[in-house]
Amino acid sequence: MEPWPQRFDERLHIFAHGETFDVDAFLADSTLHPDYVWRREPPNTSGIEFLLGDGRAIRPAAQEELAMSYLASHRQELKKLRCFPGVEYLILGLVRICPVEATGIAVTPSVKLLQQADELGIVSTYYVTIDGRGLG
Q: For 61, phi and psi rounded to 5 degrees?
A: -65, -40
**Is residue 104, in this structure, part of any structural domain at all?**
yes
What is the pTM assigned to this prediction?
0.83
Going by C-alpha positions, the residue among 97, 75, 77, 87 that lies closest to residue 15 is 87
**Is residue 135, in this structure, part of any structural domain at all?**
no
**Is residue 93, in this structure, part of any structural domain at all?**
yes
**Is residue 136, in this structure, part of any structural domain at all?**
no
Q: What is the pLDDT along the chain (136 residues), one digit of tens a residue?
A: 555 555 556 778 899 999 999 999 999 999 999 999 999 999 999 999 998 877 778 887 888 899 999 999 999 999 999 999 999 999 998 877 778 888 877 778 889 999 999 999 999 988 887 776 555 5
**Is residue 48, in this structure, part of any structural domain at all?**
yes
**Is residue 2, in this structure, part of any structural domain at all?**
no
* Domain interval for residue 119: 11-130
Give the total number of structural domains in the chain. Answer: 1
